[in-house]
Amino acid sequence: MKKYVLVSGLTAIAVTCALFATAYFLGWTGKTVQVQHVNNLPVQGAMYTTNAEGDLIPLDFTKTASKVMDAVVHIKSSQAMNAIAGGRGRSPMDDFFGDDLFERFFGPQFRMETPNSPRQPEMRVGTGSGVIIQSDGYVVTNNHVIAEAEDIEVTLHDNRSFKAKLIGTDPTTDLALLKIEAKELPSVPFMNSDVVQVGEWVMAVGNPFNLNSTVTAGIVSAKGRNINILQDQFAVESFIQTDAAINPGNSGGALVNLEGNLIGINTAIASPTGSYSGYGFAIPSNIVSKVVEDLLEFGTVQRGFIGAMIRSVDQNLAKEKGLERVTGVYVDSLVSGGAAEKAGILPGDVITSMDGTPTNTSSELLETIARHRPGDRLDVTVDRSGTSKTFMVTLNNRNGDTERIFKERIEIEDQLGAELASVEGDKARKLKIDGGVQIRKLKPGKLRKETNIQEGFIIRKVNGQDVTTPDQLEKVLKKSKGGVMLEGLYEDRPSETYYYAFGM
């Protein structure tokens, strides 16, 4: 028995010595092993990029996302639709009995419903995104998100909802400005979109498929894209193209750089299926900024016009016209009396730069013009048969003059159905008048419907009051109730006075 105990003791001592010897040779320090759990490791950048100073920095989208998500909102727009059951119109029996015949005789519980009876108005609901651009509640979105909406609801990232007031729209750029009654809101600062570079990392933030606060990342794929998606006569398309995933519902959302600054408003996708297939398009922030400023100051966008029919130069056009260059903007024709003609530009000129900005395509030229107002002067450089020439062009408004047009004037012009312009300078002196308001063009409206007035008529008095500018005309008409009497003349008959009457 003692022998077995002795052997066991010697064995234990031997094992212990062996362990100490192993630990000695392996460098054991005498410390115990501890397993640590860490919850807040910094995000490790899988890739690197450079900042403005050229320093190498890890790509980290988390900080940008946290800055921007709170300022991107969900927008729901509603419009009542008057639907007829079965999609048919009224029948002769409906007209004979009347909608409320049975209700009048037997009470509302016996109201007769026929297959053609009008149903309760159905609501058409559209959704999209928006970006808070000022802490006091101004929100930018796409015009197509809220077009014809009777009710607009904005839901913030923190789930608070507000009814929104429509400040103004611009179909030519597909932008709209909303206002909600809230203060101290997070907002996204604007970035100069001119300095955005192809290949630069960007993030798209919005609400695709009603999935709120969705963030995707990609790069700027191209700039100055024209995809012919806007149907307005004076549409301006010079999109920033990105491969950051954009889907239905992203419209009106933010495209930002890695600093969280707004470089564009997401607007469209190019897709054979209606969903993301690699191409998304955003309105550059410089255009957005200008539209917002105009809507706040004038109630409508002040669009400048150069007065020329243009198209981009490519290899085929260069060969057709015998041009020595394959980039630039070719001047096909000029508007008589327009800004380009007055400046000295000729058909056949190739515009190479405007206001110091190269114009390799017509979309780039339109983007530059869209950032200016009527009356602004721009240096326009053209290639004329191989010779470079520079002209000073003063942009006009849509009526051919340089006046700034307020929202009220546009509403009056739409009501009258006329494009108006001031008569001044040489024309006024030739006609021996102090001034007046000329009808440049007639459109559907009261003048065409209720009078036989002709284009070119110069209005000198409204209800006996002298008017020399469209703004004066607008103020007089706003105060008029009932009948309106216009008094004036035509250029080719200056000695004759004409009168036209209509009802407001």
Catalytic site residue 144?
yes
Out of 144, 187, 193, 471, the active site residue is: 144
Task: Count other Cβ atoms within 10 Å, centred on residue 217.
Answer: 17
- Residue 385: half-sphere exposure toward Cβ, Cα within 13 Å: 3
Specify whether the CB–CB gap between 238 and 284 falls below 8 A.
Answer: yes
What distances in angstroms separate CA 27 from CA 13, 17, 31, 34, one per listed residue? 21, 15, 11, 17
Out of 77, 129, 221, 251, the active site residue is: 251
What's the rounded Cα separation, in Å, for the pair 328 and 262?
Answer: 29
Specify whether the CB–CB gap between 190 and 285 falls below 8 A.
Answer: yes
The token pair that represents 363 in the structure block: 């979309």
Task: Count other Cβ atoms within 10 Å, centred on residue 175.
Answer: 25
Specify whether the CB–CB gap between 99 and 236 falls below 8 A.
Answer: no
Catalytic site residue 251?
yes
* Partners of 354 in beta bridges: 357, 380
What's the rounded Cα separation, in Å, for the pair 68 and 77?
Answer: 23
What's the rounded Cα separation, in Å, for the pair 336 and 332?
Answer: 13
What distances in angstroms separate CA 382 from CA 324, 326, 334, 365, 392, one per listed residue? 13, 14, 14, 12, 11
| SS3 readout for 475-501 | HHHHHCCCEEEEEEEECCEEEEEEEEE
Out of 174, 294, 383, 401, the active site residue is: 174
- Residue 211: half-sphere exposure toward Cβ, Cα within 13 Å: 9
The catalytic site residues sit at 144, 174, 251
